[in-house]
């Protein structure tokens, strides 16, 4: 069961479990039903957390010629070479590496806490990860939403990462923006649903694939 839950879930379970226990004790001592209702609410959220922190196996097609989606959710915007994916409360919130590469930078930035689907969320707290890949640079921006506003990162600068590898998660409603190299063409459209580690969001342009194939031939 533990392997099916995302990293960072333990703290949430302990928090709501402890609060529920405290409220139940206060109810028993005071007899006030307010604390009983609060206890029930915390227990319901405790149970919901098992669903939210699920971490299913993902076995997408691995290739150096295409990029896999870094997040579950819906494409809410495509701005040039940037794809914005919004994750609602029912989506899997574990984020995955779209393509093999090396981590150049992980940078946390403080900010506001607007709902992640709004344009104003561009001012929200975020964690920026920059990757160097064989086909160019990729930027991943994990943007916190209105809820718990916590971003967990599993990687650090200097790490070698592989396609479909888990690199972090955001708690309770959030967004992931991914900027793709210019040598890639986008294969998703606005409002399309995507799955992390499974959906192909972009691939190397045909001319670039041909050139790459020629460079691998030997006389």
Copy the structure tokens of residue 49.
Answer: 């957390």
Say how far apart CA 111 and CA 98 lie, in whole Å.
Answer: 26
Question: How far are the Cα atoms of 81, 98, 104, 173, 200 from residue 193, in angstroms, in the given order?
Answer: 18, 16, 29, 16, 11
CA proximity to 152, closest of 9, 2, 4: 9
With beta carbons less than 8 A apart as the criterion, state whether 39 and 27 touch.
yes
Q: Where are the alpha helices (DSSP H) in 53-193?
A: none
Q: Is 18 a catalytic residue?
A: no
Q: State the catalytic residue, choosing from 49, 69, 153, 174.
A: 174
CA proximity to 204, closest of 219, 173, 178, 183: 183
Q: Residues with catalytic annotation?
A: 174
């Amino acid at each position: 069961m533990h392997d099916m839950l995302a990293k960072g879930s333990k703290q949430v379970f302990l928090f709501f479990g402890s609060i529920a226990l405290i409220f139940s004790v206060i109810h028993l001592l005071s007899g006030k039903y307010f604390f009983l209702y609060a206890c029930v609410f915390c227990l319901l959220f405790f149970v919901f957390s098992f669903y939210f922190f699920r971490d299913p196996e993902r076995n997408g097609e691995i290739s150096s010629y295409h990029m896999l989606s870094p997040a579950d959710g819906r494409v809410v915007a495509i701005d040039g070479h940037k794809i914005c994916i919004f994750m609602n409360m029912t989506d899997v919130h574990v984020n995955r590496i779209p393509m093999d590469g090396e981590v150049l930078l992980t940078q946390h930035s403080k900010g506001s806490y607007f709902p992640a689907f709004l344009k104003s969320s561009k001012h929200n707290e975020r964690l920026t990860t920059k990757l160097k890949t064989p086909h160019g640079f990729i930027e991943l921006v994990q943007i916190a939403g209105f809820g718990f506003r916590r971003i967990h990162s599993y990687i650090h600068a200097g790490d070698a990462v592989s396609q479909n590898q888990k690199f972090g998660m955001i708690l309770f409603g959030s967004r992931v923006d991914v900027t793709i190299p210019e040598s890639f063409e986008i294969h998703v459209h606005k409002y399309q649903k995507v799955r992390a580690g499974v959906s192909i969001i972009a691939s190397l342009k045909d001319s670039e694939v041909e050139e790459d194939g020629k460079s691998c031939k030997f006389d």
